[in-house]
Amino acid sequence: MDNLMNEGIRRIISEIHGLDPEKREWVNEDFVKIKLGMWFQSKNCEVYPEINTGKSGMSKKKELDLLLEYPDGDRYGLEISFPLKSHGETTDAIFKIWKDVEYLEDLKEAETITKGYFLMITDNPLFWYRRHNNGVGRMNRSMYSCIRNGNDNGNISILENMRDVTLLRKYSSNWMPEAGQNGDAVNGLRYFSISV
């Protein structure tokens, strides 16, 4: 499934890069969900978007972006994040990323899904490139280090403005494609995925 997921992600990113600049402005998280859903349907998979899992656990979340179900009974959960420069605040977006990963962990622990995947696509270099110390506090540095540096963040518990995230496993990011010399994204977008 990992290879199939990676192929689907690469195809969607390639399709986004191939769009006219005017049309690229229309691309958002829903566009990615629809395109990935259509691609997985072509691979003999039932696709359920925005499905209420009835589970919340530690994450307090109940809706899964995409549930992929194969004829053999395996079920895969997919959470997608598409924060753009125009959306502003990176701290909030990074916190939501870890909440999504925590949710996938909850679903896997409850055996609601066989495996989970998190996909992030962005044009905002603040997610992967830090030019200087921007005042990130000690408590939430681990939130940023994995996203920006691809470092293993370990089992973390994050308390950010009275919100918390507790992850059970270690995760790291591998941003694709490589950034330019000044940290800019090639063709305006970079992405990474995490397998849960």
DSSP result, 122-156: ES-GGGT--SS-----TTTHHHHHHHHH-----S-
pLDDT, position 6: 87
In this prediction, what percent of the chain has a pLDDT beyond 70?
71
Q: Tens of pLDDT along 101-133? A: 889 999 999 999 999 999 998 888 777 765 544
* Angle, helix 29-41 to helix 2-17, in steps of 10 degrees: 130
pLDDT, position 154: 47
Q: Which residue has the higher pLDDT, 85 or 137?
A: 85
State the pLDDT confidence band at 173, using cuts at 50, 70 and 90.
confident
Q: What average pLDDT does range 22-39 have in this prediction?
A: 89
Q: Write the single-letter amino acid at 153.
A: N
Whether the predicted pLDDT of 176 surpasses 70:
yes
pLDDT, position 2: 84
What CA–CA distance (Å, rounded) separates 21 from 115?
35
State the pLDDT confidence band at 31, using cuts at 50, 70 and 90.
very high
In this prediction, what percent of the chain has a pLDDT beyond 90?
29
Extents of the domains making up the chain: 2-195
Q: How many CB atoms lie within 10 A of CB 191?
A: 22
State the pLDDT confidence band at 14, using cuts at 50, 70 and 90.
confident
- For the chain, strand residue ranges (E) read 46-52, 63-69, 75-81, 115-122, 157-160, 163-166, 190-195
Q: Tens of pLDDT along 144-165? A: 555 544 544 444 455 555 457 7
pLDDT, position 80: 95
Q: How many residues does the chain have?
A: 196
Whether the predicted pLDDT of 20 surpasses 90:
no
Dmax (CA) for the chain in angstroms is 50
Q: Which of 105, 121, 123 is nearest to 113 (CA)?
A: 105
Whether the predicted pLDDT of 17 surpasses 70:
yes
Cα 48 off chain centre by:
18
